[in-house]
Structure 1
């Protein structure tokens, strides 16, 4: 590993980023797969959308809940071990789903197992890599890695939709399983634990740089994770970040990521065209999130969040009344896509400012858990609303209003005077 990194010097950090980007991309593809499987499962097995949505909601919820524990476990037993175990679990769970015949089988495979596995290959992983490997340009790098979820849609959804339309849901599950397993050798050979593991320092740091020491790399990681939550929960900063990210999840992969393809299907648009719409959104999110990272390094993150959530809320309220013409959908894809995950870099910066570089990623993991709780709620909420009303109109209007609420909450965040430190002060 040392000889591999030697020709790159500090720039080896970007090799690590490239591998982690691929891992995040595949995890995003896995989490978005139920969206293209919904209609084939309904036709093939006769399951209702509420049952399928429940399985997707469980996976999204555990995807977020596992994040903070994964962040602590990475410090306890090593990032690479946790990452590889997660990839194995994701691949095995999706492969096992090929034999499912009852809704609870989907809850077990695509919900519980893949949710736990993908939880370690999520935004909190990107935050950990950024803090370990970069002294400068953190916002930009976090923007690039956050954009991997958009790229996951861009790369996977058209392919998965084509597979679902021609062969049903089983080829989708098999493709995701194979793609996940293919990442294992890349992680094993190219991702060291830390820069110091290969004789390097963080990118942009001096030779005598001393990176932040994790609060507890030893002891009971489970209790440490919960104690960090308890201390962070005593601050207003945490609850403002948690609330805005709850709404972020509610208005993105929870509602739109899970139900947009089915919504388009209700309006006479086939799966491949609808997946193409999500891919177009992915293109603009790749641009928007990367730009957001650049802006986060330079401007007040609270004002950026106000703009992002405001645009998102208005976009969601526009969609049900857009007429679903080609032009209207393109307009929606551009404005909504530009800030799909653009909220991540400014939220991470606020978490680091409020709780410090050492505890920041773990606290951010709990904030991301709020994101996934919101996403899980929206995934199930969308299915229930469709079963009750026969359409998604009210679900999207409510989501739009929550986006406007998040825009207002963002301006209340103040990291200049944290109310309490999430780490105990020495006596």
Structure 2
């Protein structure tokens, strides 16, 4: 566990706090990682045509990758505390680049499972929401909600920048060249992180943003594998943990597991080209960049429980509208993209804020990592389940409607989260 920090005199502040440079590098890292994680949604149809794999089989690989992407989060938090942000990001980027570089050589579904379900899932999981929460906790005292919102929005921005590009490359030159382009992007980010990333404000002689005292970090002394599990056992005694994990399960089910994985294929079922369908996801990315950033700002000022109530409720309405939009005019799909995009991952900042209030700054990144595991279990369930439903019923409509009603359940769960800082005496004792 993190011990009491040592305070030293603050040096004269530069005009630009270095925390914003670290936040920018983290934003770019998460952006590229999210763009690469979105690639399988473009590859479903090409792989089905080239290798003859079923959508259920391809979806199972994506499902495993999504699950491991979330499962590694709590352990990523421990690794970030032990080895520092810079080393962890560099290692994850190198592994991810290697897995992508050899993917064009695969010939069997099990190889796709190994490279994308396991290796890529673990590597990108090291650069997920837990990284953003860790950076905001270490580098910022003020503006934490805004920083979490910005870093969360990088996932949407990754789709904005990369999905149409990858779809265009796949359509014109083939999916292998799209992977080579992804490797090139990783190499550029890796070089930038190696040059400018720093682990802690004290590395540059600064205090966290919004503080006047330099905090000297104390090395992580716990076990890398047992400490996250112990924290999970303690958190499981808290009602707040179960409510946050439950709502986040439905969040993952209704976002990257369903829409992020299957929307392009669903549009293809209705005669829309992949490039145009990728453009819809890119449009969602544009609006989510605003929606999630504003959500971070709002979470600094309003009750996060009621923010989640409205976010999940509006998302549920948009998913019930989607089957109609697919059967109607392209304009209706644009309406869906705008409405849904504003709410895509706006749930992350208030969820992270509630976790921080309930479990404290020192524990929140690791506990939030376990909450993200629930998110990815939901996403994994939807990624595989929607593919199987499509194979059985010939349509994604049923999956969209089910997800919409699950969002209404999450909306009601959110308002049951305790308003108190520590949700109960039980949770106080659990994390003591």
Change (3 A) 1:283 1:6: farther
Aligned to 1:76: 82
What is the SS of the residue equivalent to 1:187?
helix
Rounded to whole Å, the distance in 1 between the matches of 2:248 and 2:111 is 30
Find out whether 1:420 has 2:427 as its counterpart.
Answer: yes
TM-score normalized with structure 1 length:
0.95
Aligned to 2:190: 184
CA-to-partner distance for each residue in 1:366-397, whole Å, 9 max, x for gaps? 11111111111110011000011011011100
Aligned to 2:245: 242
Q: 1:53 aligns with which of 41, 59, 65?
A: 59
Structure 1, unpaired ranges of 5+: none
CA-to-partner distance for each residue in 1:173-231, whole Å, 9 max, x for gaps? 2222221122112111211110011100100112x2658x78x8123110001000110
Structure 2 counterparts to residues 5-404 of structure 1, below 5 A: 8=14, 11-206=17-212, 208=213, 210=215, 217-322=220-325, 323-404=327-408
Moved more, 71-80 or 264-273: 71-80
Corresponding residue pairs, total: 418
Stretches of 4+ moved more than 6 A in 1? Answer: none
Rounded to whole Å, the distance in 2 between the matches of 1:114 and 1:345 is 25
CA-to-partner distance for each residue in 1:10-54, whole Å, 9 max, x for gaps? 611111111100100011011100000111111111111111111
The answer to whether the Cα contact below 8 Å between 1:267 and 1:324 also exists between their aligned partners in 2 is no
Q: CA RMSD in A?
A: 1.6
Change (3 A) 1:198 1:57: same
Rounded to whole Å, the distance in 1 between the matches of 2:429 and 2:151 is 26
TM-score normalized with structure 2 length:
0.94
Rounded to whole Å, the distance in 2 between the matches of 1:86 and 1:422 is 36
Rounded to whole Å, the distance in 2 between the matches of 1:279 and 1:32 is 11
Moved more, 260-269 or 323-332: 323-332
Rounded to whole Å, the distance in 2 between the matches of 1:376 and 1:285 is 22
What is the SS of the residue equivalent to 1:47?
coil
Change (3 A) 1:79 1:386: same
Change (3 A) 1:422 1:398: farther
How far off is 1:324 after superposition? 3.9
Structure 2, unpaired ranges of 5+: 1-10
CA-to-partner distance for each residue in 1:93-134, whole Å, 9 max, x for gaps? 111111111111111111100000000101100000000000
Rounded to whole Å, the distance in 1 between the matches of 2:399 and 2:37 is 21
The answer to whether the Cα contact below 8 Å between 1:124 and 1:361 also exists between their aligned partners in 2 is yes
